[in-house]
């Protein structure tokens, strides 16, 4: 059985096309799948409290914190799973965490 690379797998792939144990062999594959619907909790960017230290960016396992011209923007909610790591990483309390409203 030949396994597909991450860039060849899409949201309609079958389980047979996934790697054993769904292991990830390449970086930044989370950008290829919209996982925002999985979220139960939602991070809230408090722009007025943000000091643009960008410490939250490398901690996000889903690359859901975009940066443009050296400044972080609001969350990419199509890829954010709501894990809360960014909330813990922010030293300025610039990220809140609330229950997802659907």
Please, what are the domains in the chain? 1-27 (no CATH), 34-99 (3.30.70.20)
What integer is the mean pLDDT of 19-44? 77
62-70 average pLDDT score: 93
The residue assigned the tokens 């709501």 is: 82
Is residue 63 within 8 Å of 31, Cβ to Cβ?
A: yes
Is the pTM higher than 0.95?
A: no
Average pLDDT of the chain is: 83
Under 8 Å between Cβ of 79 and 63: yes
Q: For 29-48, what is the mean pLDDT?
A: 85
Write the DSSP string, 65-80. Answer: S-EETTEE-S--TTT-
- Residue 9 clears pLDDT 70, i.e. is over it: no
Q: What is the mean pLDDT of residues 20-34?
A: 70
């Amino acid at each position: 059985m030949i396994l597909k690379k991450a860039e060849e797998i899409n949201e309609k792939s079958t389980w047979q096309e996934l790697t054993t144990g769904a292991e990830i062999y390449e970086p930044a594959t989370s950008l290829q799948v919209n996982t925002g619907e999985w979220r139960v909790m939602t991070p809230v960017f408090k722009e007025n409290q943000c000091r643009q230290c960008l410490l939250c960016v490398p901690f996000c396992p889903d690359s859901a914190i975009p940066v443009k011209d050296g400044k972080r923007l609001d969350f990419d909610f199509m890829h954010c799973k709501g894990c809360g790591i960014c909330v813990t990483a922010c030293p300025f309390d610039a990220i809140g965490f609330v229950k997802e409203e659907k």
